[in-house]
Amino acid sequence: MTKKSKGEQTKATVKVKPKEEIVQKHGIVYKVEEQAEKFNKKVTKEYNDTIKRAGSVYTANFKLIDDTIEEIKKASRKVSTNDYSANNVYLFLQDALKRVLKAEK
């Protein structure tokens, strides 16, 4: 076995696959962009199907908003068991009110 001297340099040539080719199995070349596009469409649809919508550009679902306000009222009464927690609930709700008022801007 020989040691390399301090000034000795080694050289290697690396070939990079074209961007489109990610994997080749059983004679099939999978394209990165095609796979990413299919995956993103699937994930976006699944995610969008799980979200409750409070409205769109054309309509607003006030029932969903009203139901949420009722849930907040119930939860705030349940957790406000002392002065400290009641004050925290009050501060959170004041912050939420400020954000609601900014929603239209």
Average pLDDT, the chain: 76
Q: Which amino acid is at 11?
A: K
Residue 18's pLDDT band (cuts 50, 70, 90): low
Distance separating alpha carbons of residues 37 and 43, to the nearest angstrom: 10
Give the tens place of pLDDT for each residue, 53-62. Answer: 666 656 777 8
Residue 57 falls within a domain, yes or no? no
For residue 51, give the DSSP letter: P
* pTM reported for the whole predicted model: 0.45
Give the per-residue pLDDT at 61. 72
pLDDT at 44 over 80: no
Residues 66, 97 within the same domain: yes
Residue 73 falls within a domain, yes or no? yes
Residues 66, 92 within the same domain: yes
Q: Which of 55, 50, 52, 51 has its CA nearest to residue 104?
A: 55
3-state secondary structure 2-47: CCCCCCCCCCCCCCCCCCCEEEEECCEEEEHHHHHHHHHHHHHHHH
Range of the domain at 75: 62-102
Residue 2 falls within a domain, yes or no? no
Q: Are 80 and 89 in contact (CB under 8 A)?
A: yes
Q: Is 56 helix (H, G, I), strand (E, B) or coil?
A: coil
